[in-house]
Chain A
Amino acid sequence: MYSNWLPEIVKRSEAGPYIKESDFDMKLTKRIPELIKEYGLVYDPNVLVPSDDDLANRLYQAGMDLFLEMGVYNMSTQRRILFSRDEVEEAVALVPRSFTVGAGKDAVVMQHRGVESSIPCVIHSGPTGTPSSEKYHPFILASCAQEPLVDCLGAGSVSTYQGEMVIPGTPLEILAVQRDAAVAREAIRKAGRPEMHINDVASPLTCAGKISTYNPEWGMRSTDGLLISQMVELKTDYDQLSRVARMKTLGMHIVDLMTPLVGGLGGGPVGTVIVTIACHLLGVMCYQASYHIYGHMHLLHSTDTDRMGLWGYAAGGQALALNTPIQSINAIYTQAGLGTEQVLWEVAAASVACTVSGIHQGGVGTRGGSTEDHTSGLENRFNAQVSHSSLGMTREEANGYVLEFFSKYEETHMNPPEGKPFSEIYNVDTLEPTEEWLEKYHTVSDAIVKTGLDINNRWKEVKRKSN
């Protein structure tokens, strides 16, 4: 058992087997279909939330095998960092089942939830993978932080600084990220929740950018988190690993971001789930993450609310929930734009699939995160209501709801309504959603209530018990 992993990871990064990146990719691509065959893993597009513990366990074992055989590719040294099964199993066993994020009265406890858990999801929010404009960024964050059902805020990203495009690795990146960290701190202060957990400032793309957000007075604090990313698939580099060293010393929460691509190196949904499980193990071994962002998405459409994406959440979430104490949050990437009914149906489907499969709720990235300012507080409120109302549900029941919600947008999924940006669906003076956006929210909420899931009231019971 190692007591000090980081120097050992550098040692293995320098001394591990040399391999070209393309060869590593080929090796991974080749191994995955073998593992699928070996473990008898099958994807059924008609069962989006499987209720098969054995399938979940086999998926986990396949992910573990993949991780042990491939190791982690360090792009800085072009070498593989390899781990033994004992090392990985020990590290997974040491992952905490619960921890506190945020501080004071605004602190929340993130607990390992398990399958079909009655423990409420922690609700993260913020502009998930969606850029904000300099002008509306403070209002967007405030609209999220003020939502009573939201527990945590992500600061999101802004791509300009005083109108100049921010180029990573330049002083503009440092200036921009410091501004964005301060804007997030101010948003939660304004909402009367000054110590709410901020899970990341997404503007920076380099280590220097990330660590410059830390400042207990106006920026990120030890009770907050920052993302450390994996590159697809199973890749890291020294820029990412250096963040670990800094954040561990500051006592910050490390958030492991992975973005396995459905249709990419992992192949279809089964292969991508295997990769996703291996990615979680990477986050445990190399990043010592507090929690993970389960961020798989479709290679071409940047979404995870299609059949493959929803199955990926459910199957992979269950595999991790049944076999590890690891905690993940989702990142719901919809096709529809903000202010549309479809975006809410997409959120609802992913929310139910994740809640019964052990995953906490992350934020919502509308239009696959492609369009500036397509993000607000209301869809996060909606996500929380659906999630809390799904507690205690069986996976069979959840599958029924997910299929029903999916049927509401399947036809238009790849030809979605564009929606409107934040400034057109919120009053930026009062920070309230416009009547138009509220009407759509009520329409979908009422329709879901009619299906039997009382999202208008059930969350109240959950909050009453948990408060």
Chain B
Amino acid sequence: MFTRERLIEIYQRSRSGKFMKEVEYDLMLAKRVQELLKEYDIKYDPKNVCPADDAMADRVFQAGLQLLVDVGAYHLDTQRVIKFTKEEILDCLRLAPDTLNLGEGKDMVVAKHRNIEDPNPPLNLTGPAGQACDEEYYLANLTSYAQEPFVDAIESGATLTFNGFDIMAGTLMEVMAVQRDAATAREAVRRVGKPGMHIGDAATGMTAVGKMAASEPINGLRPCDGRLVAQMCELKVDDDQLNRVPHLLNYGSFIINLMTPLTGGVGGGPDGVAVVSVAETLLGVVAYYADYHYLSITHIKRANNSDQWGMYVLAMAGQAMARNSHIVWTCDPFCVSGPVTDELLYEVAQHAVISTVCGYTQHGVGATGGFEPNHHTGLEAGWQGEVGVATANSGITREKANEIALKCLEKYEATFDTPKRGLPFQEAYDLKSLQPIEEWKECYRRVKADLAKWGLQFTEGPWD
């Protein structure tokens, strides 16, 4: 147990820990991950992307815990390693919340820890997942998310300009843009009659100053909302990220630990990245005081997680945390396809199915892997929530989830090298009625019919 305020202790360790060049730390981490995979007998099988193996899930957790104990966290500013003992990590994990009241008033939702194959449907805390949106369409775009019936919270995405000027991080333009975007998210939830809906972040903010500028209880983000505190790949922190923690703790806002472990990166293949994901989650618990966690697995080249590697990391890291902790955590589908394509909805669906049976709450969606500005809409986000609810209600097992996910994969795998980026929001929606165009609704109906055929029992959806 930490004997003095944890933040001060972390600060001290970031100044007095072992000095190490970043590249040396990366090499140490890469090497240790491979050793742990052998030591804990963790193996990846591309035909079984959602293994039903409790013992392996426990071993992934133990390996992740050991990784954090062995390599610690790297502080990019001081180039020092912040170490934690196993007891400290487990103490913090015990103190982490298992239930969160997100939002306020009638729009508040209760997010609870979910177990493997949990019959309680997951919440869907969604949004453009930090993807770029033109300021011209920003309000309409966020409203398209907030109005979806299977959406429980939104996150304000990112804009790139303010009054047409490029937003440079660390300048007053960032502060102005963040304030505008936080107020826009607030306006979006108000417009759909859900003024107390939880807003998960103001993603335009890239610096601590930007993130903090969103704090404003009337027009901006309230204590019942949240803000991301990010880790850099892999297991890296800096003062700019850590500075957000005391502010958010005092403001009383939810802290969300954002992790973007790279498949094919320092962690290696999917088995190694599953271990790294567990370690990063634990680091978020200890260093960021995270209320909930946001796992955004990213393929090093395609920036997606809808391939077999991404599916396996999602499944194993999820099961490891579901069985060995009581935390609330979320994940997002990063997809190669864009709106108004069937492929995007299959990519989202497989993610929703696996994550629901593996203990996650839903978060999303990163259409086109974030490569195309404006290529994200409320429809695919609502679809993710709808699939998650149907998965839980249908009693889908891990074996069945594996089967459905691989069927989905067949529908889009061939497009990985030539992805279908689809249409931008302003073409995928009627901007007056804020309804998806007929073609987009047809994609939804077609894919939904397939998923129903494969075993999901849907109730009536918004675009049937």
Are B174 and A170 neighbours in the complex by a CB distance under 8 Å? no
Cα A63 to Cα B209 with chains together (Å) = 34
Cα A170 to Cα B209 with chains together (Å) = 12
Not counting A170-B243, A212-B246, A245-B173, a sample of 18 additional A-B residue pairs whose C-beta atoms are within 8 angstroms of each other reads: A6-B173, A7-B165, A9-B172, A11-B165, A161-B8, A162-B8, A171-B245, A172-B11, A174-B247, A178-B247, A214-B215, A215-B250, A242-B170, A245-B175, A246-B175, A246-B213, A249-B176, A250-B216
B405 at the interface (CB under 8 A from A): no
B12 at the interface (CB under 8 A from A): yes
List residues of chain A with CB within 8 A of the CB of B458: none
Are A245 and B250 neighbours in the complex by a CB distance under 8 Å? no
A96 at the interface (CB under 8 A from B): no
Residue of A7, A173, A206, A216 touching B217 (CB-CB under 8 A): A216
List residues of chain B with CB within 8 A of the CB of A170: 11, 239, 242-243
B171 at the interface (CB under 8 A from A): yes
Cα A173 to Cα B8 with chains together (Å) = 11
B208 at the interface (CB under 8 A from A): yes
Cβ of B383 to closest chain A Cβ, rounded Å? 35
Cβ of A134 to closest chain B Cβ, rounded Å? 13
Are A173 and B251 neighbours in the complex by a CB distance under 8 Å? no
Residue of B172, B213, B251 touching A238 (CB-CB under 8 A): B172
Chain B residue, CB-CB nearest to A9: B172
Known: A171-B245, A249-B179. A208 touches B8 (CB 8 A): no
Cα A246 to Cα B208 with chains together (Å) = 13
B92 at the interface (CB under 8 A from A): no
Cα A216 to Cα B250 with chains together (Å) = 12
Are A6 and B176 neighbours in the complex by a CB distance under 8 Å? yes
A-binding residues in B (CB < 8 A): 4-5, 7-8, 10-12, 162-163, 165, 168, 170-176, 179, 207-209, 212-213, 215-217, 239, 242-243, 245-247, 250-251
Cα A186 to Cα B116 with chains together (Å) = 48
Are A174 and B243 neighbours in the complex by a CB distance under 8 Å? yes
List residues of chain B with CB within 8 A of the CB of A218: 250
Residue of A7, A9, A171 touching B7 (CB-CB under 8 A): A171
Cα A214 to Cα B253 with chains together (Å) = 14
7 nearest interchain CB pairs? A245-B175, A245-B172, A174-B246, A242-B172, A212-B247, A238-B171, A245-B176
List residues of chain B with CB within 8 A of the CB of A212: 212, 246-247, 250
Instruction: Digitize A310-338: 1 where CB-to-B-CB distance is under 8 Å, 0 elsewhere.
Output: 00000000000000000000000000000
Cα A4 to Cα B176 with chains together (Å) = 12
Known: A162-B8, A169-B239. A7 touches B216 (CB 8 A): no
Instruction: Digitize A158-187: 1 where CB-to-B-CB distance is under 8 Å, 0 elsewhere.
Output: 000110100001111111001000000000
Are B251 and A6 neighbours in the complex by a CB distance under 8 Å? no
List residues of chain B with CB within 8 A of the CB of A249: 176, 179, 213, 216
Cβ of A5 to closest chain B Cβ, rounded Å? 11
Instruction: Digitize A208-221: 1 where CB-to-B-CB distance is under 8 Å, 0 elsewhere.
Output: 10011011101100
Chain A residue, CB-CB nearest to B218: A216
Interface of A is mostly: helix
Instruction: Digitize A129-158: 1 where CB-to-B-CB distance is under 8 Å, 0 elsewhere.
Output: 000000000000000000000000000000
Q: List 18 A-B contacts (CB under 8 A).
A: A4-B163, A7-B165, A7-B176, A11-B165, A161-B8, A170-B239, A170-B242, A174-B247, A214-B215, A239-B170, A241-B171, A242-B170, A242-B174, A244-B172, A245-B179, A246-B213, A249-B179, A249-B213
Chain B residue, CB-CB nearest to A238: B171
B-binding residues in A (CB < 8 A): 4, 6-7, 9-11, 76, 161-162, 164, 169-175, 178, 206-208, 211-212, 214-216, 218-219, 238-239, 241-242, 244-246, 249-250
Chain A residue, CB-CB nearest to B162: A7
Cα A172 to Cα B14 with chains together (Å) = 12
List residues of chain B with CB within 8 A of the CB of A10: 165, 168, 171-173
Cβ of B178 to closest chain A Cβ, rounded Å? 9
Are A162 and B4 neighbours in the complex by a CB distance under 8 Å? yes
Are A211 and B173 neighbours in the complex by a CB distance under 8 Å? no
Cβ of B203 to closest chain A Cβ, rounded Å? 18
Are B179 and A7 neighbours in the complex by a CB distance under 8 Å? no
Cβ of A432 to closest chain B Cβ, rounded Å? 33
> How many contacts between A and B, using CB within 8 angstroms?
103
List residues of chain B with CB within 8 A of the CB of A242: 170-172, 174-175, 209
Known: A170-B242, A171-B239, A245-B213. A6 touches B172 (CB 8 A): yes
List residues of chain A with CB within 8 A of the CB of B11: 164, 170-172
List residues of chain A with CB within 8 A of the CB of B174: 242
Cα A249 to Cα B221 with chains together (Å) = 13
Cα A238 to Cα B173 with chains together (Å) = 9
Cα A212 to Cα B242 with chains together (Å) = 13
Cα A35 to Cα B170 with chains together (Å) = 37
List residues of chain B with CB within 8 A of the CB of A7: 162-163, 165, 173, 176
Residue of A10, A170, A171 most packed against chain B (CB within 10 A)? A171
Are B251 and A211 neighbours in the complex by a CB distance under 8 Å? no
Cα A76 to Cα B170 with chains together (Å) = 10
Are A208 and B163 neighbours in the complex by a CB distance under 8 Å? no
Cβ of B357 to closest chain A Cβ, rounded Å? 38
Residue of A169, A215, A246 most packed against chain B (CB within 10 A)? A246
List residues of chain B with CB within 8 A of the CB of A11: 165
List residues of chain A with CB within 8 A of the CB of B176: 6-7, 245, 249
Cα A55 to Cα B20 with chains together (Å) = 62
List residues of chain B with CB within 8 A of the CB of A244: 172
Residue of B172, B174, B213 most packed against chain A (CB within 10 A)? B172
Cα A11 to Cα B4 with chains together (Å) = 47
Cα A21 to Cα B173 with chains together (Å) = 24
Residue of A76, A162, A173, A238 most packed against chain B (CB within 10 A)? A238
Residue of A175, A215, A241 touching B172 (CB-CB under 8 A): A241
Residue of A164, A207, A215, A219 touching B209 (CB-CB under 8 A): A207
Are A171 and B243 neighbours in the complex by a CB distance under 8 Å? yes
Chain A residue, CB-CB nearest to B78: A170
List residues of chain A with CB within 8 A of the CB of B250: 178, 212, 215, 218-219
List residues of chain A with CB within 8 A of the CB of B175: 207, 242, 245-246
Cα A239 to Cα B240 with chains together (Å) = 14
Residue of A76, A169, A172, A219 touching B8 (CB-CB under 8 A): A172
Cβ of A219 to closest chain B Cβ, rounded Å? 8
Are B8 and A211 neighbours in the complex by a CB distance under 8 Å? no
List residues of chain A with CB within 8 A of the CB of B163: 4, 7
List residues of chain A with CB within 8 A of the CB of B162: 7
List residues of chain B with CB within 8 A of the CB of A211: 209, 212-213
Chain A residue, CB-CB nearest to B179: A249
Chain B residue, CB-CB nearest to A14: B168
List residues of chain A with CB within 8 A of the CB of B213: 211, 245-246, 249
